[in-house]
């Protein structure tokens, strides 16, 4: 059962952040990176609040913490170009 990700578990763990990012004009998506790691990507929309993103190390700590209840760990976060 390698490389099979429980999408529902990851979606549930990241849902509040997906919603929060949408409020600030960002789209949060994720993709698998190996068997038990996740890459979180944050993309800006035309209405994105440029000052609303936290620095990369803070965002990675937040996402890693959000994934703790799941069997997955954070690989890394990709922020929009020009992000922190």
Separation between Cα atoms, residue 63 and residue 42, nearest integer Å: 11
- The strand pair at 26-32 and 37-44 is best described as antiparallel
Residue-range definition of the domain harbouring residue 42: 7-78
Q: Give the residues across from 41 on adjacent strands.
A: 29, 78
pLDDT in tens, 20-58: 999 999 999 999 998 899 999 999 999 999 899 999 999
Does residue 83 fall inside a structural domain? no
Does residue 23 fall inside a structural domain? yes
Does residue 84 fall inside a structural domain? no
Separation between Cα atoms, residue 38 and residue 64, nearest integer Å: 9
Find all residues with CB under 8 Å of 36, minimum gap 6, and list them.
Answer: 71, 72, 73
Does residue 67 fall inside a structural domain? yes
pLDDT in tens, 17-28: 999 999 999 999
């Amino acid at each position: 059962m390698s490389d099979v990700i429980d999408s529902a578990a990851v979606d549930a763990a990241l849902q509040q952040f997906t919603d929060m990012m949408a409020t600030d004009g960002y789209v949060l998506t994720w993709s698998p990176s190996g068997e038990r790691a996740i890459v979180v990507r944050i993309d800006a929309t035309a209405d994105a609040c440029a000052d609303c993103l936290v620095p990369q190390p803070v965002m990675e700590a937040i996402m890693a913490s959000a994934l703790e209840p799941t069997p997955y760990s954070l690989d890394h976060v990709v922020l929009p170009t020009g992000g922190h």
